[in-house]
Amino acid sequence: MDLFLHLCIMSLIYIIFALSLNLEVGYTGLFNFGHVAFFGIGAYTSALLTLHHFPFEISLLMALFLSGVSGFLLSLPSLRLRGDFFGIATLGFGEIIRMAFQNEVWLTKGPMGLPGIPKPKLLSIRFATLPQYLLLTLGFATLTFLILRGIIRSPFGRVLKGIREDEIAAEALGKNVYRFRIKSFVVGSIFAGLAGVLWGHYTTFISPNDFTIIETVLVLLIVVLGGKGTEWGPILGAILLIFFQESLRFLRLPPEYSRYLAPLQQMIFGSLLILMMRFRPEGLIKERREHGCLS
């Protein structure tokens, strides 16, 4: 039962993470390959502050704030790049952030990681046990879902989609494409930070190894598999992938073969990405295209 709760919590954290990426990838057409950086900034900020006995509410807000600010600072130069080079620039940013976690030992304890991150206490309720933590993540995930849906359905969201479809037309209609993209990127970064906060306080131990490019690929796969640019796609993708990964544990393979299992699983992920792009680039859930959305 606990394992099931654990997987639910993991899925919910990845749902938040994937929803935030979906705003960028799905609705704005920004292929961010360094999304894990904001996940990491969120996790580290909140972990460090609570370890220094700041209350969780303040740590959380600071974490979201810092994720947003770093998202803003990164977006200023990188959003001037064309799509694929934007991807590479963000990839580089993700790696630099990971290296900073690893090397700025005075702050992050470097590769030793941060053990003993306290369980969160929000509005004087402590979320320590698994069911309690599940409630907390469920609450935040619902909140994330509602806020992001609100944004997407608002006129602002429609402009984002318009830019994704036809940048030139959007510009011709007097929209400042650059600014809209920055806003979308900042919002995405903030929610990625939120996912990071929840992850750090859940495992109670974080180290730079948690924030590698593999995480980015996983969350990208979640969005693309589930259906980018849809409200429910990332949720479906996260649940499918997290449970699929762990279901392999129940295959009860002889341990000699599990050496082959992990690369095989990654190979399946790789093939899935290729096949999805080839045969169903829109993902499991298909986006309904609205016409004339640049009202």
Write b or e for each residue in 71-96: b if 16 or more Cβ atoms lie within 10 A of its Cβ, otherwise e: beebbeebbeeeeeebbebbbebbbe
**Which residue type sits at 258?**
S
| CB nearer to another protein: pick between 3 and 146 | 3
CB of 167 to another protein, least distance (A): 8
CB of 251 to another protein, least distance (A): 11
| CB nearer to another protein: pick between 13 and 66 | 13
Cα torsion 184, 185, 191, 195: sign = positive
CA 60/CA 199 separation, integer angstroms? 12
| CB nearer to another protein: pick between 145 and 178 | 178
CB of 263 to another protein, least distance (A): 4
DSSP string of 129-153, one letter each residue:
SHHHHHHHHHHHHHHHHHHHHHHHH
CB of 160 to another protein, least distance (A): 16
| CB nearer to another protein: pick between 217 and 240 | 217
Q: And the tokens for 211?
A: 């924030």
Chain positions contacting another protein, by CB under 8 A: 1-3, 6, 10, 29, 31, 77-78, 80-85, 87-89, 91-93, 95-96, 99, 102-103, 105, 110-113, 115-116, 167-168, 171, 203-207, 209-210, 217, 220, 224, 246, 249, 255, 258-264, 266-267, 269-274, 277-278, 281
Tokens 């993470």: give the residue: 17
Cα torsion 72, 77, 80, 83: sign = negative
CA distances, 65 to each of 42, 59, 77, 218, 281 (Å): 9, 10, 20, 25, 34
| CB nearer to another protein: pick between 95 and 231 | 95
CB of 260 to another protein, least distance (A): 6
CB of 194 to another protein, least distance (A): 18
| CB nearer to another protein: pick between 244 and 260 | 260
Cα-based angle 34, 283, 243 (whole degrees, multiple of 5): 75
CB of 220 to another protein, least distance (A): 7
Q: Which residues neighbour 139 within 8 Å (Cβ) at sequence distance 6 or greater?
A: none
The helix/strand/coil state of 80 is coil
| CB nearer to another protein: pick between 51 and 113 | 113
